[in-house]
Amino acid sequence: MRLRGSTADTEGGSRPPTARRALGWSFANTVIAKLSGLAIGIVIARLLGPEEFGTFAVAMVALMAVLSFNELGVSLAIVRWDGDPRRIAPTVTTISVVASTLLFAAGLAVAPVFAAAMGDPGATAVVQLMLVCVPLNGLVATPAALLQREFQQGRRTIADQVNVWLGAGISIVLAIIGVGAMSLAIGRVVATVVFSAMIIAFSPERLRFGWDRTLVRPLLSFGLPLAGASIVVFAVAYADQLIVGALLGSQALGFYVLAFNLASWPVTMLSQPIRAVAPAAFARIQGDANRMDAGFRAAFRVVLAVALPACAFLSGAALPVVTFVYGAVWAPAALALQWLALQAAIRVVFELSYDFLAVKRRSTALLVIQFAWLAVLVPALLVGADRGGIAGVAAAQFLVAAAVMVGGYGWALARAGVRMPALARATLVPLLGGAAALAAAYLCTQLIASPFLAAALAGVLALAVSAGLLLLSRRSLGVLQTARAGTAEGATA
């Protein structure tokens, strides 16, 4: 089996412009989806309340667990196949559908046990209905991969937006008439059916089943390690939610998930633009160790200059933000948000570091870090849940993430040629600015009784701090702009 590498992606005179348009569509899709998801989440949270939202959160964790390895990783082979993907598409489709159907059947059987373990036996029906999305995901794995390969993100954006808004509309209507947590599951499944039909219709090739025995082994050899890695990534990403549900119950999980979703907003909105530029820039200069070092440190400082004040604002003003946006009934979520918002800033830096290390071909180091992270995270989360509830779990997340960033990623970055003393100096000013934004937000919550006014003033001060940090980071911005210009010139050469 021959897989297409990154160099093949830029071959041909017409490919780079198409890739750039696809990148633009992908970024727009992410921004619109995140903003609309935030708005929809506010409406749903106000309609359902913590208990029903927690039941849906239990089902969502189950769905994400299965989807993390649903089609055994084989669909990515279509994206990287060095040749005509139509040769492997039928076999990939068959593997994906068979695997997802078997996982769906297993999920239906295990759902009652999982729901009970998560502290909400009544969530069984919601979990089982949500799992209908699993075979649908397997069915469209090949068409979705073909759309990605052909850079047809415009069509994918249309399907994604229909998925988001159709599901939200159905869920909101059903929630209003009193269907409860099941309203979210019904909306998700109906929207997934329509989404799947659109992806199949938009696919560059007709959906076909087939079985070429000569392809099965190489496809599984390629996909199974990816599926295994996805399980580890899922465990790191969802260990906190699994522990909250199992030890503290579904209502506590509802509070925690709402806080996590709100804290994740800066991660997506701030890291996506950087990640759209940084990997390509790093790839263009990977032969020059000094430029790689300077480019990473510049990106690191700019990311912190933008992310730290935003995350510090959410942390310091957690209570007024939650109560104003979602209502007073959701106030306990602020206990988790004050820590998860700080962890979100580290997550942004994680992603930048991951991209840099991936370009430097440090995949083994990345895998070691993931395993070490999981080994430390689980016991820390258990202690946090026992000692401090959802606030203890969130605090454990932040502390472990900080340790992994300094210890794990610091070690890997140093071995990859980053000068750590210089990186520490580049980090100092953004850290001071973030601390100032955190203190300002906290003072606003203590001195201003109105949640709206406290959150608004804290937000304005955070924006001012971020603007000041960017002004002080002009040299780093110049380094990034130079790298981006060099990337653009290389792409059009």
| Residue 85 or residue 171, greater confidence | 171
Q: What is the pLDDT of residue 256?
A: 94
Q: For residues 118 and 332, give the distance between their C-alpha atoms in angstroms, rounded to a whole number.
A: 19
Q: Are 281 and 484 in contact (CB under 8 A)?
A: yes
Q: Is 88 domain-assigned?
A: yes
| Residue 171 or residue 67, greater confidence | 171
Regarding whether 473 and 445 lie in a shared domain, the answer is yes
CB neighbourhood size of 290 (10 A) = 10
Which pLDDT tens digit goes with each residue over 34-47?
666 777 778 888 88
Regarding whether 222 and 142 lie in a shared domain, the answer is yes
Regarding whether 293 and 194 lie in a shared domain, the answer is no
Boundary (domain end) residue, out of 183, 206, 238: 238
Tell me how far CA of residue 101 lies from CA of 62, 74, 91, 193, in angstroms. Answer: 15, 15, 15, 15
Regarding whether 196 and 124 lie in a shared domain, the answer is yes
Phi first, then psi, for residue 3 (nearest 5°) are -110, 140
Q: Which helix (H) or strand (E) holds 169?
A: helix 153-176
Q: Are 64 and 235 in contact (CB under 8 A)?
A: no
The rounded percent of the chain whose pLDDT value lies above 90 is 36
CA torsion through residues 338, 339, 342, 344, sign: negative
Please tell me whether residue 79 adopts helix, strand or coil conformation: helix
Q: Is 0.85 topped by the overall pTM?
A: no
**What mean pLDDT value characterizes the chain?**
83
CB neighbourhood size of 9 (10 A) = 15
Q: For residues 103 and 108, give the distance between their C-alpha atoms in angstroms, rounded to a whole number.
A: 9
Q: Is 9 domain-assigned?
A: yes
Number of domains forming the structure of the chain? 2
Q: Are 417 and 291 in contact (CB under 8 A)?
A: no
Regarding whether 234 and 256 lie in a shared domain, the answer is no
Q: Answer yes or no: is pLDDT of 418 > 70.
A: yes
Place of tokens 């996805």: 230
Least confident stretch, 146-150, 235-239, 295-299, 381-385:
146-150
Q: Is 226 domain-assigned?
A: yes
Confidence of residue 228 (pLDDT cuts 50, 70, 90): confident
Range of the domain at 203: 1-238
Q: Is 475 domain-assigned?
A: yes
Helices (H) and strands (E) in the chain, counts: 19, 0
Q: Is 424 domain-assigned?
A: yes
Please tell me whether residue 71 adopts helix, strand or coil conformation: coil
